[in-house]
Chain A
């Protein structure tokens, strides 16, 4: 096994996982930037996104994939907006502990709701795995090619939206200074809602891609929340491109680490990286906050 294709495959797998983590991290950091808090329920958006697709694909709807995906993403965005409307908006001016406890309560609620409907067992969409590209002994399934293409499209989309559109500009203004943005006449509600919708769409897309490549289970949210968070820490919290780089680093590190450690500890790698960053560069976190 210790040959070039094996290592190449590891790198490819790392990039694949990294693309997905980047989508999670970008969504997390986006809401953080605008509202200045870590959305503990972000993992649940990831998980529900994947389950919404399962719902749309299964009976009684049994939609074809091209119709089911937009439906699933739309429902994820709706869930994100509903979360904000029902929980976070009433707590907009509450203190941080109150907000965090509400967020973790919400995440727990949503996870168990998924477990109630679909059970705790691991599921898949049931697509057959087709042989894909083979090149230099490295194989890529169609799903994996889709992951790379779709992630790339999402990143371009985020770039256009964030830096080339009016709503992106107002989101960035909000992230800089909420009060200043408000008195300069920026429609804050609209900008906040857009941030939630984009964040949810990124989470849902990432969740679906992850579930296509691996599987679905109600716990997938928490694990990926930690990874997304580690990725945002690498890139600097609130920084969209940092989140992208951070996601790729986490994905690569995880897959490379499995060459040396037991796969049972794969999910611990992101956490270890996080601790190392915190120990070596605490200022990127401590110096960021202005409130």
Chain B
């Protein structure tokens, strides 16, 4: 039972993380290959402030704001770029963030990581048991789902899709693509920050090694597998992938296999991305109203 709760919490955190990436990749067509950076900014900011004695609501807000600010700062140069270049710029940004976490040991304890991050306390409620934490995470996931759902169904979301499908046409119709992309990117970063905060306070120990390209690949796979540009896609993708990933752990394979199993599982993830792209680029859930046969 505890295991199921644990799995659901992890899946819900990843659903938030994936919903935020889907806003950028699925709806806006931004190839963000460094999404883990914002997750890391949220996690580290909130963890450091909590360890410094700040209360959870303040630390969480700071974590979310830090991720959003990170998005704004990298967005200014990077969003001027066309697709692939934006991908490389964000990939590089994520590497820099990891490098800072690793090297600025006076702030972040470097590679040693941060142990003993307190479980959250909100208005005198303690979220120190699994069911309580699950309630908190599900609440946060519901808020994320509703906010992103509302945004993408609103006229704002339609402009994002228009920019994704034909940036020039959207610009001719008087929409400023840069401004819209920036909003999408910053909102995505804010929610990635939220996911990071929830992760840090759940796992209670974080280190720079948790925030590598692997995490970006996992969350990208969740979005692509579930169905990019759909509201439920990231949720379904997170459930499927996290349960798959954690069930491998449940097989109780001999420990000496772990050196093989990690890379093997990640090879499967990489291969799955390639195969999905070749045979079913729309994922499990197909985006409505989009002609999937017309490939531009």
Of the listed stretches B54-62, B82-90, B114-122, B129-137, chain A binds B82-90
Binary contact track B130-159/A, C-beta < 8 Å → 1, others 0: 000000000000000000000000000000
Q: Known interface pairs A105-B270, A109-B267. Does A271 touch B95 (Cβ–Cβ under 8 Å)?
A: yes
Are A271 and B92 neighbours in the complex by a CB distance under 8 Å? yes
B277 within 8 A of A: yes
A102 within 8 A of B: yes
- Chain A residue at minimal CB-CB distance from B31: A100
Are A101 and B277 neighbours in the complex by a CB distance under 8 Å? yes
Of the listed stretches A112-120, A153-161, A173-181, chain B binds A112-120
**B89 cross-chain contacts in A, Cβ below 8 A:** 274-275, 278
Binary contact track A72-94/B, C-beta < 8 Å → 1, others 0: 00000000000000010011011
A-B contact pairs, 29 of them (CB 8 A): A91-B277, A93-B295, A98-B281, A98-B295, A100-B84, A100-B87, A101-B224, A105-B272, A108-B214, A108-B217, A108-B267, A108-B269, A108-B273, A112-B264, A112-B266, A112-B267, A112-B270, A113-B267, A116-B267, A223-B95, A226-B88, A230-B92, A262-B103, A264-B102, A270-B92, A274-B89, A274-B92, A279-B77, A285-B82
A268 within 8 A of B: yes
Which residue of B78, B267, B295 contacts A95 across the interface (Cβ within 8 Å)?
Answer: B295
**B91 cross-chain contacts in A, Cβ below 8 A:** 222, 225-226
18 further A-B contacts with Cβ under 8 Å, apart from A38-B85, A96-B31, A274-B92, are A94-B281, A101-B224, A104-B87, A105-B269, A105-B277, A116-B260, A226-B88, A229-B92, A233-B85, A268-B95, A271-B92, A271-B93, A271-B95, A271-B96, A282-B80, A285-B80, A285-B82, A289-B82
- Chain A residue at minimal CB-CB distance from B275: A105
**A255 cross-chain contacts in B, Cβ below 8 A:** none
**B78 cross-chain contacts in A, Cβ below 8 A:** 275, 278
Shortest distance between the CB of A122 and any CB in chain B (Å): 15
**B281 cross-chain contacts in A, Cβ below 8 A:** 94, 98
- Chain A residue at minimal CB-CB distance from B74: A275
B25 within 8 A of A: yes
Are A267 and B95 neighbours in the complex by a CB distance under 8 Å? yes
- Chain A residue at minimal CB-CB distance from B84: A38
A260 within 8 A of B: no
- Chain A residue at minimal CB-CB distance from B220: A101
Within 8 A of A (CB), among B219-235: 220-221, 224, 228
Residues on A facing B (Cβ under 8 Å): 37-38, 40, 87, 90-91, 93-102, 104-113, 115-116, 119, 222-223, 225-226, 229-230, 233, 262, 264-265, 267-268, 270-271, 274-275, 278-279, 282, 285-286, 289
Are A106 and B274 neighbours in the complex by a CB distance under 8 Å? yes
Which residue of B81, B267, B273 contacts A101 across the interface (Cβ within 8 Å)?
Answer: B273
How many residues from B make CB contacts under 8 Å with A? 49
Cα separation A105 to B221 with both chains bound (whole Å): 9
**A282 cross-chain contacts in B, Cβ below 8 A:** 80-81
B171 within 8 A of A: no
Are B96 and A102 neighbours in the complex by a CB distance under 8 Å? no
Residues on B facing A (Cβ under 8 Å): 25, 29, 31, 33, 76-78, 80-85, 87-89, 91-93, 95-96, 99, 102-103, 213-214, 217, 220-221, 224, 228, 259-260, 262-264, 266-267, 269-274, 277-278, 281, 295-296
Q: Known interface pairs A38-B84, A38-B85. Does A116 touch B95 (Cβ–Cβ under 8 Å)?
A: no
Cα separation A113 to B274 with both chains bound (whole Å): 15
**B83 cross-chain contacts in A, Cβ below 8 A:** 96-97, 100
Are B270 and A108 neighbours in the complex by a CB distance under 8 Å? yes
Are B278 and A95 neighbours in the complex by a CB distance under 8 Å? no
Of listed B92, B95, B264, B267, residue having the most chain A CB within 10 A: B92
Are B95 and A105 neighbours in the complex by a CB distance under 8 Å? no
**A111 cross-chain contacts in B, Cβ below 8 A:** 270
- Chain B residue at minimal CB-CB distance from A32: B84
Are A113 and B84 neighbours in the complex by a CB distance under 8 Å? no
Which residue of B33, B214, B264, B274 contacts A87 across the interface (Cβ within 8 Å)?
Answer: B274
Cα separation A229 to B86 with both chains bound (whole Å): 12
Shortest distance between the CB of A260 and any CB in chain B (Å): 15
**A115 cross-chain contacts in B, Cβ below 8 A:** 262-263
Of listed A102, A265, A267, residue having the most chain B CB within 10 A: A102
Are A264 and B103 neighbours in the complex by a CB distance under 8 Å? yes
Are A278 and B80 neighbours in the complex by a CB distance under 8 Å? yes
Shortest distance between the CB of A131 and any CB in chain B (Å): 32
Shortest distance between the CB of A276 and any CB in chain B (Å): 8
